[in-house]
Amino acid sequence: MRIAVFGDVVGRSGRTALIERLPGLRRNLSLDFIVVNAENAAGGFGVTPRICEDLFDAGADVLTTGNHAFDQREDILIFDREPRLLRPANFPASNPGRGSGMFQDKDGRNVLIIHVQGQRGMAPIDDPCAAIDRELEGVKLGREADAIIVDFHGEATSEKYSMGHHLDGRASVIVGTHTHVPTADDQILPGGSAYITDLGMCGDYDSVIGMEKSEPLHRFVSKMPGGRFSPATGPATICGIFVETDSKSGLAVKASAIRTGGRLRGIMPD
């Protein structure tokens, strides 16, 4: 199976670039399944039903989110209505939506997506390791699921690496999201799981992690808020990972970062 996962979509620039490029990426990389983290797609904070539909129409199969999942509060019940839109599984059970789902690709193969949020440097939340283990109960890679993809939304690189090793051999793909900066450690772990500490964002890199520069700079220099954060509007770089899995085991046989457009040096799989 050929899989791509794309990092946090930030604002209009990020979502426009990804929506325009996604059909071509699916075609050129012969992708069977696409996951997109969309938690910053609506003005940098959260996601709306319309944006979800635009991303699905462009080729995304599942959308994940993170700590900004419910920032667009006018319609958070979309998380109940739309099974392809996930919030972290270790959010309180009373929250709208779900943190995992079993989906099928165009050939009927089962793809389990699990989404959790980290604890280090984040708001207090339940144990992500325990949440992941619960979601994996009764689901074995290569048997009940042809592929398992985990989006670990976290701040600390050490926590992301620990989760990678915790899941190595039990998931096809383990990606980190949230920090908006792509890491150069795309690899296949010893147990056969593809891993990257952070996918990076789909957004304008002439910015402060996707936000127009003046307000973050003002706050760092003056220690005082001056206004609202707003997404940068320049050309976006699309960041993600491409993974090819073994048809029997579901483990990764190829893993390569994807970076295209905007300011960052381009990387495309062979």
For the chain, what is the total number of helices (H) and then of strands (E)?
Answer: 6, 11
Compute the CA torsion angle 185, 213, 37, 74 (nearest 10 deg). Answer: 160
Element at 78 (helix H, strand E): helix 78-81
Measure the CA angle with vertex 182, ends 97 and 258; round to 5°: 90
Query: How many C-beta atoms lie closer than 10 Å to residue 96's C-beta?
Result: 15
- The residues facing 176 across adjacent strands are 152
Q: Is residue 68 annotated as part of the catalytic site, yes or no?
A: yes
Q: What radius of gyration, in Å, describes the C-alpha atoms of the chain?
A: 17
Q: Is 22 in contact with 264 (CB distance < 8 Å)?
A: no
Q: Is 71 in contact with 91 (CB distance < 8 Å)?
A: no
Selected catalytic residue, list 68, 115, 178, 180:
68
- The residues facing 211 across adjacent strands are 208, 231
The catalytic site residues sit at: 68
